Amino acid sequence: MALTKGMLLSYSDPLLGLVPVIVSFQYNPVNVTRVLTGPAAASAGAAAQPARETYALKLELDATDGLEKEGAITMAFGIGPRLAAIEMLMQPVGGQVLPRIPGASKGTAIPAGRLPLTLFVWGPGRITPVTLKSLTIQETAFDSALNPVHATADLGLTVLLKAELPKDDRLARLAADFYQGLREVKAVLQLPQMSELGG
């Protein structure tokens, strides 16, 4: 069975669901840390808010395979393009270089000040809209032109609640519903699972 790789993907058009940036993990991180933080106490008459969930993970990127295959992009830039793709998840790109590329679709322009919507995909059961809140890149090896050829990237992701998503973004809202719905289903399954685990 082939190993499922995690990924981050972003798209700029919530109606068409275009995916101009796909960051498939070269190596799945060894550890994924999740933190759920309870909301502040609700005031009288106010509805309770869902817990806030964050992810922390470390990605490793290495150019060895691309260099051995003499891949043109890797030879020219090392792993720079992959690092840039991750960095762009934190940048509003509308009106910058990409929309001016000849032949680029008009649908790839992100409204000014708006970040691309990002989905964190960790297997078929965990697909959720997130924002990339923090990114620390440590470049640890370079080629002769000082392009990075090995690096680690520490990512901090915040899971977006459905109420925080644009109303016209059906894909993200469906992902948010599925993510929470599957959590509820799994919580029910823990009762029969107790016999499997000897509890």
Stretch 5-33: mean pLDDT, rounded? Answer: 81
What pLDDT does residue 168 have?
85
pLDDT at 107 over 50: no
What pLDDT does residue 3 have?
83
Stretch 147-158: mean pLDDT, rounded? Answer: 98
The neighbouring-strand residues paired with 70 are none
What pLDDT does residue 66 have?
94
> How many other CB atoms sit within 10 Å of the CB of residue 87?
13
Confidence band (pLDDT; 50, 70, 90) for 109?
very low
Residue 194 CB burial class (10 angstroms; 0-12, 13-18, ≥19): exposed
The predicted model scores a pTM of 0.83
Average pLDDT of the chain?
85
Give the pair of three-digit tokens for residue 49.
Answer: 């808010």
Give the pair of three-digit tokens for residue 105.
Answer: 């679709």
Stretch 167-190: mean pLDDT, rounded? Answer: 91
Torsion angle (degrees, nearest 10) of CA 90, 92, 96, 97: 40
> What residue spans of 37-133 are helical by DSSP H?
64-68, 72-77, 80-87
Cβ(120)–Cβ(133) below 8 Å? no
